[in-house]
Amino acid sequence: MSVSKYWREIPHRYRLEAGKCEKCGNIYFPKRLVCGECGNSKFKSIHLDRQGKLISYTVIHVAPSKFYSQAPYAVGVVELKDGVRLLAQIADCDLKKIKTGMPLRVEFRRVSEEGDAGIINYGYKCVPV
């Protein structure tokens, strides 16, 4: 991954920055230029609530090459307290004990590595509360 491609997503991935529509209040993660609900183009920058719950999940057994060493690992759709949904790995838990609806917290984590000499990709993962 090029440095610029990685760097420009840092506000989202490291700090959970999102855009809140100043007209209708809809929140977008990542930020957008126009609101799909009301058409407004003015947004306030906010930080997402890090608390949420699990909507659905899977355990990946056959992983993409960047994630080989992590398999099996869980990935889920998580709904945060402010209503925003994101997709993230569910870490630090027994894969057999994961349940839909369980409370989770978003944490800053190492996500993947680009081979022996490539950059380390950081971002967010979810952990049980």
Partner 1 sequence: MARDVAIIGVGLSKWGELWEQSLRDIYVEAALAAIKDAGVDKIDSMYVGNMSAGLFTGQEHLASLMADYLGVASIPSARVESACASGGLAVKMGYMEVALGMSDVVLVGGVEKMTDVGTDEATFALATAADQDYEVYQGITFPGLYAMMARAHMEKYGTTREQLAHVAVKNHEHGSMNPVAQYPQKITVENVINSVMIADPLRILDCSPITDGAAAIILCPVELAKKISKKPPVKIIGLGHATDSIALHSRKDLTSLPATAKAAKAAYKMAKVNIDKIDLVEVHDCFTIAEIIVIEELGIVKKGKGGSAAESGMTRLGGKIPVNTSGGLKSKGHPVGATGVAQVVEIVKQLRGEAGPRQVKNARIGMTQNMGGSGGSTVVHIMEVA
What residues make contact with partner 1 under the rule CB under 8 A? 9, 13, 30, 55-67, 70, 73, 75-78, 85-89, 100, 111-112, 121, 123
| Smallest separation, CB 9 to partner 1 (Å) | 6
Residues 20 and 126: their CA atoms lie apart, in Å, by 22
Instruction: Evaluate whether 55 touches 66 at the Cβ level (below 8 Å).
Output: no
Residues 73 and 63: their CA atoms lie apart, in Å, by 9
| Smallest separation, CB 43 to partner 1 (Å) | 17
Distances (CA, A) of 2 to 7, 29, 110: 9, 22, 17
